[in-house]
Amino acid sequence: MNQVKTYILMALLTILLVWVGSLLGGRTGAIFAFIFAAVMNFSVYWFSDRIILKMYRAQEVTEAETPGLHRVVRELAQRGRLPMPKVYIIQNEAPNAFATGRNPQHAAVAVTTGIMKLLNEDELKGVLAHELSHIRHRDILIGTIAATIAGAISFIATMARWSAIFGGFGDDKEGGGMAHLIAVLVLTTLASFAAILIQLAISRSREYHADEGGGKLAGNPLYLASALAKLDAGAKRIPMQVNPSTAHMLIVNPLSGRGVQKLFSTHPPIEERIRRLKAMAAR
């Protein structure tokens, strides 16, 4: 179901891109903006593992340094028929984890020292299974494509606004020029807003999908459910300083939001994630 939802949301993003491109005056602007955004975003995707790991000051660790962590990752990777990813530790007391890499052959999992202290082995297995599920489903690629299209929409919308302001205003003596300008400004602003919401919805959908896949891979969904409850409390107690653009990669959202801010969250509500995992275990 989450897969279908992702495909529908991706289709909506594509339709929105084409529509905003038409406001600019045809396909040429849309194609140019899409190529520009694609080059930027896929460049980040290609080097994402190095960029993100360096951003969080993650250090690769050997099996001799963290035998227990490597053992759990290796068991899960073998069970999921995945190549063994590189393993990293982040010196941070805030409990969190993420996976990165452009494909399963170039993947890495990173955990904070805080999560290692907070969780027992079964809970850690649930978290790592969730991250390996992201790798298995190529969620990093899906997220990058969504960001590419959303970025192209915002870029084209900005171009359309400036074009309307400097090129289309005042052409109609009856006031049609002003009406056209207002319409373009409103529509392009709404399109940019809609693109952001759809992109965030895709991110939340992938989290649910990774929870489901992680629950199966770990062998018991309750491992991850228990871990999420602890991580949510731990993240509130010890906030993690992160770049908002990378917050979606972490297993629990380090950026707290209340009220309307929850609409812009990259993660589903922890309570709902736990509820789904418990229902999955009951089945």
Looking at residues 71-91, what average pLDDT do you find?
Answer: 97
pLDDT at 59 over 70: yes
Mean pLDDT of the chain: 85
Q: Give me the domain span that covers residue 162.
A: 2-282
- For residue 56, the SS3 value is coil
**Band of pLDDT at residue 260, cut at 50, 70 and 90:** very low
Higher pLDDT, 23 or 228: 228
**Does residue 255 or residue 112 have the better pLDDT?**
112
Reported as type and span, the H/E element at residue 189 is: helix 176-218
Structure-token pair, residue 270: 């922890």
* Rounded Cα gap, residues 255 and 211, in angstroms: 20
pLDDT value at residue 167: 67
pTM to 2 decimals? 0.81
- Whether residue 186 contacts residue 46, with contact meaning beta carbons closer than 8 Å, is answered with no
Half-sphere exposure of 263 (CA within 13 A, CB side): 7
Nearest to 33 by CA among 148, 204, 187, 133: 148
Q: Count Cβ atoms within 10 A of the Cβ of residue 81 and give its class: 0-12 exposed, 13-18 middle, 19 or more buried.
A: exposed
Q: Other C-beta atoms within 10 Å of 105: how many?
A: 10
What are the E-state strand segments in 41-152? 59-60, 86-90, 97-100, 108-112
Cα angle 154-158-164, degrees, rounded to a multiple of 5: 140
pLDDT of residue 151: 77
Q: Dump pLDDT digits (tens) for 82-93.
A: 999 999 999 999
Tokens of 225: 């459910």
Domain tally, the chain: 1
Q: Which of 75, 93, 121, 131 is catalytic?
A: 131
pLDDT-derived band at 4, boundaries 50, 70, 90: confident
Confidence of residue 218 (pLDDT cuts 50, 70, 90): very high
Annotation marks residue 212 as catalytic: no
